[in-house]
Structure 1
Amino acid sequence: MENEYKIPAQTRIGHVHLKVSNLQRSLDFYCGVLGFELTTMYGTDAAFISAGGYHHHIGLNTWYSKDSPRPGVHSPGLFHTAILYPTRKDLAAIFERVRAANYPFTGFADHGVSEALYLDDPDGNGVELYWDKPRDQWPVKPDGSLEMYTKALDLDHLRAELER
């Protein structure tokens, strides 16, 4: 496909809007466990939540999905929502918060360019909590392209960030 147009470098993903089966259960997870703030309710079937007072980073609604079962793992749809933390210490803090809430993780990874914690929300939507390593530390291949990988994340080293 020949296309000269390139999306502007400053473009960002502004928010994600998720269909959920139980709004309160989702608010308990996203606000109660992860610490997002409720910015507004939209009637009784939708909520908008954010970090730092933005209008919303995540929308949650039950408009078409109230009391629905989880979709199968092999169904098409969102693989995960990735939530970017500003520092490694912030990632360590959310790791401890989720762990203290006894909420289950599904994985942990060092991707070379980032470090990530993985879990599922109550409806089975994947959630990645991560921080980007400084760009000058990103591994590159001999041709200059990124050398992303998946290696085990040293959780003890991550937790040590909280002592610094």
Structure 2
Amino acid sequence: MTDQIGLAVGHVHLKVADLERAIGFYRDVLGFEVMQRFGTDAAFLGADGYHHHVGLNTWHSRGGTPPPNGHTGLYHAAFLYPDRRGLALALRRVVDAGIPLDGAADHGVSEAVYLRDPDGNGVELYRDRAPEDWPRDKDGHLAMVNIPLDVDALLAEAR
């Protein structure tokens, strides 16, 4: 659709059980900056001076638990890093914080690692390859893949 040119996802807003714990994860591990707080109930975090990419609130979830498996809800929020080194540095913070990975994949168009935030929300950290490097089939259509990502090689980029 040509009328969708310029459309982008602006932010994700999450219900969390413990605001300080969630802020610690999104600020200290993923690298977002707290842009504004609403007391002990909500916070908005952004990158590069943007008003917010992540909203966190406890309005209906303070002390709550993650939804059980088999229920609908957010599969994951994906956070795009500008390059492979940026992704590697984020992964280093994840590993150093002792947060286990759910997986890691090379999709041909991108490299991604998957984990959970302290409230059990799925999180994807990724970097895109240049569009001219995306895999294509013989007809020129996008041909994404799902192959294992060499996490150790990615971590080596953080040195």
Equivalences, count: 159
Normalised to the residue count of structure 2, the TM-score between the two structures is 0.94
SS in 2 for 1:28: helix
Q: Does 1:65 align with 2:61?
A: yes
CA displacement at 1:7 relative to structure 2:
4.3
Q: Corresponding residue for 1:140?
A: 136
The residue that corresponds to 2:103 in the other structure is 107
Listed as ranges, the gaps of 5+ residues in structure 2 are: none
Matches within 5 A, 1:18-37: 18-37=14-33
- Give the superposition deviation at 1:156: 2.9
Whole-angstrom distance in 2 between the partners of 1:136 and 1:94: 25
Structure 1 residue 111, shift from structure 2 partner: 0.5
The aligned residue for residue 95 of structure 1 is 91
In structure 1, give the amino acid aligned to 2:84. Answer: R
Distance 1:117 1:16 in 2: 18
Segments of 4+ moved more than 4 angstroms: none
User: Percent identity, aligned pairs only?
Assistant: 52
Superposed CA RMSD: 1.4
The 3-state SS of whatever aligns with 1:74 is: coil
- Match for residue 49 of structure 1 among 25, 39, 45: 45
Three-state SS of the structure 1 residue aligned to 2:79 is: strand
How far apart are 1:108 and its partner, in Å? 0.6
User: Partners of 1:46 and 1:74 in 2: how far apart?
Assistant: 28
Q: Are 2:92 and 2:158, in contact at CA under 8 Å, matched by a contact in 1? A: no
The alpha carbon displacement at 1:65 in A equals: 1.1
